[in-house]
Structure 1
Amino acid sequence: MRTFVAVATQNSFTNGAKQVGISTKLASKYVGQLEERLEAQLFHRTTRSVTLTETGAAYFDRCLPLLEQFDELEGLVQETQSELAGRIRITAPTGFGASLLVRALRPFQAAHPKVSIDLNLSDHHVSVIEEGFDLAIRFGELKDSSLVARKLMNMRVVCCASPDYLDQHGFPNEPAALATHNCLLQTVAGNFDNWEFKGLSGVYTVAVSGNFRANSPLAIANMAADGQGIGRVPLYTVQPFLASNQLKLIFEPQEAKVIGLYAVYPPSRHLTARIRLLIDHLAEQF
């Protein structure tokens, strides 16, 4: 049933199989066995696509609440056991996921060795429900109101440059001076070429421009560390560079932007014990 739902949401046996962690051949076998048992065709299959039949669509609608109930039952049983077990599929931003998140997950897995973490890193917006993730770790404004979110922490957004760049191009004494500098633009955030700062009269913006832009804050930090310009990224991205003196923070008193870090998950009447405890653990860690 889980395999059928995964194939249906992905419109693909290959992608559905990946979602549940089995081979395409086994996914096809499971769905075939299900159709044989039900004596009904659940999918229209062509060489290019897999779509639900009318019967398949009706079965799909009934499957979802049943699977939630199975998860709830599993969670209730696990709460009475000394050990948690099972898989948790997480999606997170590339830079944060590969560094701070991995370090935060380490003690959780040490305490619960039978829980397996399947971490998918992407700097693109991933649909939690359609892609079959249990949990998403996200920065910034949350656009999908159908999901439940728990705030884990606030993160400063900082301006930085390398000592070599500042020696060569001069230290900007105020944010307005950024107009004469090469600014490295992170395109994930909206309005990325207008940077916010705090002044005596409140928050204001400075229009910036430059010859490099990227959707990854780590790419911006690396370019800044190489002396290519001034970057503006979440603090976690530049912390290793600050420790090695490859980057310096500038305009700290004028910082105006803080972004929230959230654990986001599909609405459900009952989170499984392992997912709920992982969220609690991340909230404590951050």
Structure 2
Amino acid sequence: MDKLDCMRTFAAVAAQSSFTGGARQMGISTKLASKYVARLEEQLGAQLLNRTTRKVTLTDTGRAYLERCLPLLDQFGELEDVVQLRQQELAGPVRITAPTGLGSRELVEALHTFQQAHPKVAVELVLSDRHLPILEEGVDLAVRFGALKDSTLVARKLCRMRRVVVASPEYLAAHGEPAEPEALATHNCLLLTTAPQPEVWAFGRGSGARTIPVGGSFRANSPRAVAHMAAHGLGIARCPHYTALPFLRDGRLQVLFEKQETDPITLYAVYPPSRHLTARIRALIDHLAAFFAPA
């Protein structure tokens, strides 16, 4: 049983105040995490954690040990990075989470080219349309739209993406093309339920910004589903540009109110604060920034 693994597991359990959370962060079973920490305590001849049915807390000795343990773990990580960079070969696991729409296509394309260049990096992609708690879920990196709400995390901007209002030529031929956003009240609007206010669409910027109430017969929590339904002629949708792009290219959708678009949404790479990021995670963030920059 490697002492370094025991130390890493102890640090993860302490950070999560839970053997279950620490084990998830380490990618091991709760039983094994408990075994690692018990082995470390046995080697040290001291109790590091107080265990109750509800919570795990640090003893005074455990707190002092953790303060000295974390810098050592960072240094070990840096040593591994030095070897990897010298060999020009990145290796190891990366757990990344992203929204379903972006993650199932655009992000997969970015990860594909990254793993082609670094085949020894093992990526686990977790797709979810809710924000997974990064520390609790043992996530190394999250790709997210919108402003960072958790001040304990770090965010790097990857790109800004337009939000477009789109409709199919068939729908517009049958129902008429709205001349102004206010005319959307008479149209079937397809609603994205993950938006802060699905039934209110914003237009314009600065002093010219305004909001328009909308409604319709279809709503979904996936922007790609909304774009697909608009391409099939059901109604008018408002969605991120990347979801509509394939249909815009083949003519199945066209953009409305282009000169009245609201501010773009920002895509971020989000990760836990740390004195040290592994070389593979830093390299992946740099790769994503380069991949999404043209957007």
Same fold (TM over 0.5): yes
Kindly tell me: are residues 56 and 121 of structure 1, through their superposed partners in 2, closer, same or farther at Cα, counting changes over 3 Å?
farther
* Aligned residue runs from structure 1 range 134-213, under 5 A: 134-198=140-204, 202-213=208-219
Query: 232, 242, 255: which one pairs with 1:236?
Result: 242
Per-residue CA deviation, residues 7-26 of structure 1 (Å, 9 max, x unaligned), is 44555545543432233443
Query: 118, 129, 132: which one pairs with 1:123?
Result: 129
Query: 6, 13, 38: which one pairs with 2:12?
Result: 6
Structure 1 match to 2:56:
51
Query: 260, 263, 268: which one pairs with 1:257?
Result: 263
Contact 2:25–2:135 (Cα < 8 Å) also in 1:
no
Does the alignment pair 1:42 with 2:81?
A: no
Structure 2 match to 1:105:
111
Question: What is the distance in 1 between the residues matched to 2:21 and 2:248?
Answer: 40
Question: What is the distance in 1 between the residues matched to 2:32 and 2:70?
Answer: 21
Unmatched runs of 5 consecutive residues or more in structure 2: 1-6
The answer to which of 20-29 and 130-139 deviates more is 20-29
Contact 1:203–1:256 (Cα < 8 Å) also in 2:
yes
Structure 2 match to 1:273:
279
The AA in structure 2 aligned to 1:120 is V
User: TM-score, structure 1 length as denominator?
Assistant: 0.85
Kindly tell me: are residues 60 and 212 of structure 1, through their superposed partners in 2, closer, same or farther at Cα, counting changes over 3 Å?
farther
Match of 1:28, SS?
A: helix
Question: What is the distance in 2 between the residues matched to 1:238 and 1:13?
Answer: 44
Residue 175 of structure 1: CA displacement?
1.0
Structure 2 match to 1:114:
120
Structure 1 match to 2:37:
31
Question: What is the distance in 2 between the residues matched to 1:212 and 1:189?
Answer: 14
Residue 208 of structure 1: CA displacement?
1.8
Contact 2:247–2:253 (Cα < 8 Å) also in 1:
yes
The AA in structure 2 aligned to 1:52 is T
Does the alignment pair 1:72 with 2:78?
A: yes
Match of 1:253, SS?
A: helix
Per-residue CA deviation, residues 170-225 of structure 1 (Å, 9 max, x unaligned), is 22122111112222222333233322223897222222223443332123223333
User: TM-score, structure 2 length as denominator?
Assistant: 0.83
Percent identical = 61
Residue 62 of structure 1: CA displacement?
5.2
Across the aligned residues of Structure 1 and Structure 2, the Cα RMSD in angstroms comes to 2.8
Match of 1:127, SS?
A: coil
Question: What is the distance in 2 between the residues matched to 1:146 and 1:101?
Answer: 25
Residue 250 of structure 1: CA displacement?
1.9
Residue 265 of structure 1: CA displacement?
2.1
Residue 116 of structure 1: CA displacement?
1.3
Kindly tell me: are residues 21 and 172 of structure 1, through their superposed partners in 2, closer, same or farther at Cα, counting changes over 3 Å?
same
Residue 246 of structure 1: CA displacement?
3.8
Question: What is the distance in 1 between the residues matched to 2:236 and 2:158?
Answer: 28
Query: 129, 133, 147: which one pairs with 2:139?
Result: 133
Kindly tell me: are residues 267 and 12 of structure 1, through their superposed partners in 2, closer, same or farther at Cα, counting changes over 3 Å?
closer
The answer to which of 117-126 and 58-67 deviates more is 58-67
How many residue pairs were aligned? 284
Match of 2:266, SS?
A: strand
Unmatched runs of 5 consecutive residues or more in structure 1: none
Contact 1:146–1:266 (Cα < 8 Å) also in 2:
yes
The AA in structure 2 aligned to 1:140 is G
Contact 2:23–2:33 (Cα < 8 Å) also in 1:
yes
Question: What is the distance in 1 between the residues matched to 2:155 and 2:68?
Answer: 26
Question: What is the distance in 2 between the residues matched to 1:85 and 1:106?
Answer: 15
The answer to which of 271-280 and 54-63 deviates more is 54-63
Question: What is the distance in 2 between the residues matched to 1:116 and 1:237?
Answer: 27
